[in-house]
Amino acid sequence: MIEAVGLTKRYGPKTAVHNLSFQVRPGTVTGFLGPNGSGKSTTMRMILGLDAPTAGHATIGGRPFRQTPNAARLVGALLDAKAVHGGRSARAHLLSLAQLSGIPAQRVDEVLGVVGLQDVAHQRSKGFSLGMGQRLGIAAALLGDPQVLLFDEPVNGLDPEGILWVRNLMKQLAAEGRTVFVSSHLMSEMALTAEHLIVIGRGQLLADMAVKDFISANSADFARVRTPDGAPEQREKLTAALVEAGGQAAPEADGALRVTGVPLPRISELAHAAGVRLWELSPHQASLEEAYMRMTQGAVDYRSTADQRAGLQPVAGYPPQGAAAPQGFVPGQPGAPGQVPLATPGPPPHPYAPQDPYARAVPVPGGPVPPQQGHPYGAPAAYGAPHPYGQQPPAPSAPYGQQPPSPAAPYAPAGPPAPPAASTDQPVPHTQDAR
Ligand X SMILES: Nc1ncnc2c1ncn2[C@@H]1O[C@H](COP(=O)(O)OP(=O)(O)OP(=O)(O)O)[C@@H](O)[C@H]1O
Q: 246: burial class by Cβ within 10 Å (0-12, 13-18, 19+)? A: exposed
Which of helix, strand or coil describes residue 162? helix
The count of other CB atoms within 10 Å of the CB of residue 401 is 31
CB of 158 to ligand X, least distance (A): 17
> CB within 8 A of 39, min separation 6: which ones?
9, 16, 17, 20, 200, 202, 203
Stretch 9-48: interaction string toward ligand X, x if CB under 6 A: --x--x-x-----------------x-xxxxxxx------
Q: Which is nearer to ligand X, 39 or 401 (CB)?
A: 39
Residue 80 beta carbon to ligand X: minimum distance, rounded to whole angstroms: 10
Which residue's CB is nearer to ligand X, number 36 or number 308? 36
Q: How far is the CB of 207 from ligand X (least distance, A)?
A: 15
CB of 193 to ligand X, least distance (A): 17
Which residues are within 8 A (CB) of 111 and not within 5 positions of it... i.e. 6 or more apart? 94, 139, 140, 142, 143, 433
Question: What is the nearest approach in angstroms of ligand X to the Cβ of residue 297?
Answer: 16
Residue 39 or 363 with smaller CB distance to ligand X? 39
To ligand X, the closest distance from the beta carbon of 16 in angstroms equals 3
- Give the integer Cα–Cα distance in Å for 212 and 400: 32
Tell me the closest approach of the beta carbon of residue 15 to ligand X, in angstroms.
8
* Residue 162 engages ligand X in binding (rule: CB under 6 A): no
280: which strand partners?
226
Closest separation between CB of residue 68 and ligand X, Å? 23
Task: Report the half-sphere exposure of 289 (CA within 13 A, side-chain side).
Answer: 15
Q: How far is the CB of 405 from ligand X (least distance, A)?
A: 33
Kindly tell me which of 302 and 313 has the beta carbon lying closer to ligand X. Answer: 302
Residue 79 near residue 150 (C-beta atoms within 8 A): yes
Cα 319 from chain centroid? 22
For ligand X, the closer of residues 40 and 171 by Cβ is 40
- CA–CA gap between residue 430 and residue 144 (Å, rounded): 18
Segment (H or E) for 17: strand 14-24
CB closer to ligand X out of 38 and 125? 38
Q: Which of the residues 180 through 219 are near ligand X (CB under 6 A)?
A: none
- Cα angle, residue 64 at apex, residues 58 and 67 outer, rounded to 5°: 165
State which residue, 46 or 215, has the beta carbon closest to ligand X: 46
Helices 130-142 + 160-175 axis angle, to 10: 10
Judged by beta carbon, residue 34 or residue 144, the one nearer ligand X is: 34
Q: Which is nearer to ligand X, 280 or 301 (CB)?
A: 301
Cα angle 257-261-264, degrees, rounded to a multiple of 5:
70
The size of the interface with ligand X (CB under 6 A), counted in residues, is 11
Q: Which is nearer to ligand X, 201 or 378 (CB)?
A: 201
Residue 359 CB burial class (10 angstroms; 0-12, 13-18, ≥19): middle
Using the minimum distance from each CB to ligand X, give the nearer residue, 40 or 73.
Answer: 40
Please give the sequence-ordered ranges of beta strands (E in DSSP) within 214-326, or none if there are none. 222-226, 248-251, 257-260, 280-284
Are residues 110 and 434 in contact, defined by beta-carbon separation less than 8 angstroms?
yes
CB of 291 to ligand X, least distance (A): 18
- Judged by phi (left if over 0) then psi (alpha if -120 to 50, else beta), residue 62 lies in left
The distance of closest approach from Cβ of residue 45 to ligand X in the complex, given in angstroms and rounded to an integer, is 8
**For binding to ligand X (CB under 6 A), which residues are involved?**
11, 14, 16, 34, 36-42
